Amino acid sequence: MTEPVLSVRDLRVEFVTRRGVLKAIDGVSFDIAKGEVLGVVGESGAGKSVTGSAIIGLIDPPGRIAGGEIWLSGSRIDNLPPEEMRKVRGKRIGMIFQDPLTSLNPLYRIGEQLVETIQTHTDLSASAARRRAIELLAEVGIPAPERRIDGYPHEFSGGMRQRVVIALALCAEPELIIADEPTTALDVSVQAQIIALLKRLGRERGTAIMLITHDMGVIAETADRVAVMYAGRIAEIGPVRDVVQNPLHPYARGLMGAIPTLAQDADRLVQIPGSMPRLSAIPPGCPFHPRCPHAWERCTVDRPAPLPHGASQVACHLYDRNDPTAEAHQRMTHPPAEEGVAA
C-alpha cells in the first residue's frame, strides 16, 4: 500500500464566540491517494469548505484547529508555523476557488501573475518562467496562449478565467489540489470542460485532488471516491459508484433520492425533512437523528463511529453488528427491490 498524498486524522475545527465554542468540524478522517479525486459533498454548512481551509492553513481567528492531524506525503503540516505553511501553500498544495476573480488580480496581466507565482516557487529565470506559463495555459486549454498571456482577467470569459486559476494552481507542480466549488459559477457546457480537465490532470500528473461541491452530478462524473458530510462529520465515505447507486447512510440515501434521473417516473422527488442544524444547536448522539426516518433511542444519545461496510465506511448505528436491534432497523431502511431506493 503506497503512502497517501493527504491523510487527515480526527480533525476538529472550532470557532470561539460570545455564545461559546462552536464545533464546525468534529472528528473528520480521510485519505487521498496519488492521482485520486476525492469528492466532498453535503448541504451548505456541512463543513466542506472549512475542512479545505484547515488543510491549507487558512483558518483565521476566532477559528482554530482544536485537534487532529494533517499529513502531506508523510510530513505533518497542521502544526507548522505560519511562514512555513506559506511555503507549503501554493508549492505543495494548490487551491482553486469558486470565483476565479478572488484568485486573480484585475490590475495585472495574467502572464505577470503566472510568472510571479512560478518564480516564487522555483528557480526559473523570468524568460523561462514565461515559457512555462505559456505551456501551462496551453495545458489547461487556453487557445493561442502566446497571445492571451498578455491579457487582463476581465478580457477572459468565466470559464477561461477558471482555466487560468487552474494554471496558477499548477505552477509549482503541487502534490495536492483543493478545488472548492470550481464549476458553480459556470454554465453546464463549460462545467463539463473543467471537469474533464481536472480528471485529466489527476490521471496524467498523478495529482491528488480534493473536490468540494454540493453538485452530485459533478461528483459522479469526476470523483473516484466520495465523502458525504453532515454537521461537521463524515456520514459516509466510499467508492463513488457504491455511494451513488447504493448509499448506506440515511442522509446519503436522501441525497441520492433527491437527484432526478431520466429513468425516474415518480411524481415527486424524495425530500429530506428539516434542515441542517446550526453550529450552536447540533443535537447529541447522531446529528442527523432529528431528520432521520429510521432513528431509534440509541441514535439520540450515542454518537456513531465510522464502521466498515464493504469498500465504504458509514457512521450509522444501523450497521453496528454488535447491536442486536440494528438488524431489525436496517431491514426497514432497505425495502424490497421492486419498491426502489426512494421507498
Secondary structure of 254-301 in HEC code, one letter for each residue: HHHHCCCCCCCCCCCCCCCCCCCCCHHHCCCCCCCHHHCCCCCHHHHC
Q: What is the pLDDT of residue 190?
A: 82
Q: What is the pLDDT of residue 261?
A: 63
DSSP of 174-213: -SEEEEESTTTTS-HHHHHHHHHHHHHHHHHH--EEEEE-
- Residue 327, pLDDT above cutoff 80: no
DSSP of 72-129: ETTEE-TTS-HHHHHHHBTTTEEEE-SSGGGTS-TTS-HHHHHHHHHHHHS---HHHH
Summary mean pLDDT of the chain: 88
- Whether the ω angle into residue 145 lies within 30 degrees of 0, i.e. cis, is no
- Residue 341, pLDDT above cutoff 70: no
Distance CA 78, CA 57 (A): 7
Distance CA 116, CA 135 (A): 15
Q: Average pLDDT in the 151-171 region?
A: 91
Question: Per the structure, how many domains does the chain have?
Answer: 1
- Residue 164, pLDDT above cutoff 90: yes
Question: Which tens digit of pLDDT belongs to each residue from 295-323?
Answer: 889 999 999 999 999 999 999 999 988 87
Distance CA 85, CA 79 (A): 9
- Between 36-50, 57-71, 177-191, 233-247, the lowest mean confidence (pLDDT) is in 177-191
Q: Examine residue 294 and state whether it is found in any structural domain, yes or no.
A: yes
- Residue 342, pLDDT above cutoff 50: no
Q: Examine residue 277 and state whether it is found in any structural domain, yes or no.
A: yes
Q: Average pLDDT in the 130-157 region?
A: 94
Q: Examine residue 326 and state whether it is found in any structural domain, yes or no.
A: yes
189: pLDDT confidence band, cut at 50, 70 and 90?
confident
Q: Average pLDDT in the 126-146 region?
A: 94
Measured CA angle at 218 (ends 217, 219), to 5 deg: 90
207: pLDDT confidence band, cut at 50, 70 and 90?
very high
Q: Examine residue 30 and state whether it is found in any structural domain, yes or no.
A: no
Q: Examine residue 306 and state whether it is found in any structural domain, yes or no.
A: yes
Distance CA 182, CA 184 (A): 6
Share of the chain above pLDDT 70, in %: 92
Q: Examine residue 261 and state whether it is found in any structural domain, yes or no.
A: yes
Q: Examine residue 35 and state whether it is found in any structural domain, yes or no.
A: no
Q: Average pLDDT in the 124-131 region?
A: 95
Q: Name the grid cell of 6.
A: 493527504
Q: Average pLDDT in the 323-342 region?
A: 58
- Residue 154, pLDDT above cutoff 80: yes
Residue scoring higher pLDDT (161 or 269): 161
Task: Report, in angstroms and rounded to the nearest whole number, the Rg of the chain calculated over CA atoms.
Answer: 21
State whether residue 237 is helix, strand or coil: strand
- Residue 196, pLDDT above cutoff 90: no
Residues 6+ apart with CB under 8 A from 139: 167, 170
Q: Average pLDDT in the 171-198 region?
A: 85
Q: What is the pLDDT of residue 267?
A: 61
Q: What is the pLDDT of residue 197?
A: 85
- Residue 285, pLDDT above cutoff 70: yes
Which of 96, 49, 50, 58 shows the shortest CA–CA distance to 78?
58
Q: What is the pLDDT of residue 254?
A: 87
Q: Examine residue 48 and state whether it is found in any structural domain, yes or no.
A: no
Tell me the residue range of the domain where 269 lies: 247-339
Question: Which tens digit of pLDDT belongs to each residue from 225-281?
Answer: 999 999 999 999 999 999 999 999 999 998 887 766 656 555 666 778 888 999 889
Q: Average pLDDT in the 37-47 region?
A: 92
